[in-house]
Structure 1
């Protein structure tokens, strides 16, 4: 059984709220809401696709994802609510009749690149380093 750590490292604040810059635009709860949102498989895939392909319409997302239309729109709204994606509406429809486009925000790109994708890169590097089949 592990031991319970009671002392926090010297370079880490005792209170997680102290991680925030003094003039932070977002609260700790808002950052945690973003983390919770990206923790859902469908929402992760939406942010992933938007971050790596640029703008997409709901129709384009629907075509590449295995999710029904109402579920897709629910997740798009959840991601918009926490600030991980944004919706751009054109004043005129394009040739396909589409006028609403979604794209990842800077926060969406950041939480993806420095969060889940970074963990996956670290795991890959670890496995590559300690892969006994390579010897």
Structure 2
């Protein structure tokens, strides 16, 4: 198993100094994102949106089986930190108007280079140290 370690030359004393001067977010902003996706339900919401594409609250509600008010609570948390976005379709159809949620670019990145990467590394670790082979 090859582990990729990267280090920044001259590691700063203050972790906030790891960010470029023109950073999109502050260190606290990035940590808030990490904390938000650290909740099982919110992780699953972002995961499903990143992998399945746009979904309505009804579709997500059916997929993860939580009540509507709890789902909207989690949507609001994820929207506040910029991991998901809400769009409302303006044209009416036979079912009326729909709100759609999707993962933002930051939502997709935090999955790919955060929790999902750790989960994939677990497979690598298990295969590298499997004593049954």
Quick check: TM above 0.5?
Answer: yes
- 1:78 is paired with a residue of what secondary structure? helix
Rounded to whole Å, the distance in 2 between the matches of 1:63 and 1:20 is 39
Superposed displacement of residue 98, structure 1: 4.0
Rounded to whole Å, the distance in 1 between the matches of 2:99 and 2:49 is 14
The residue that corresponds to 2:18 in the other structure is: 19
Rounded to whole Å, the distance in 2 between the matches of 1:15 and 1:54 is 37
How many residues were matched structurally?
127
Residues 68-116 of structure 1: CA distance to partner in whole angstroms, max 9, x if unpaired? 1100000001100100000011112344334210000000000011000
Rounded to whole Å, the distance in 1 between the matches of 2:74 and 2:115 is 18
Q: Is the 8 A contact 1:57 1:98 kept in 2?
A: no
The alignment status of 1:61 with 2:60, answered yes or no, reads yes
Q: Which consecutive residues of structure 2, in runs of 5 or more, have no partner in the other structure?
A: 1-7
Change (3 A) 1:129 1:94: farther
Superposed displacement of residue 10, structure 1: 5.2
Structure whose alpha-carbon radius of gyration is higher = 1
The alignment status of 1:46 with 2:45, answered yes or no, reads yes
Q: Which consecutive residues of structure 1, in runs of 5 or more, have no partner in the other structure?
A: 1-8
- 1:132 is paired with a residue of what secondary structure? coil
The residue that corresponds to 2:32 in the other structure is: 33
Q: Is the 8 A contact 1:51 1:104 kept in 2?
A: yes
Q: Scaled by the length of structure 2, what TM-score is found? A: 0.89
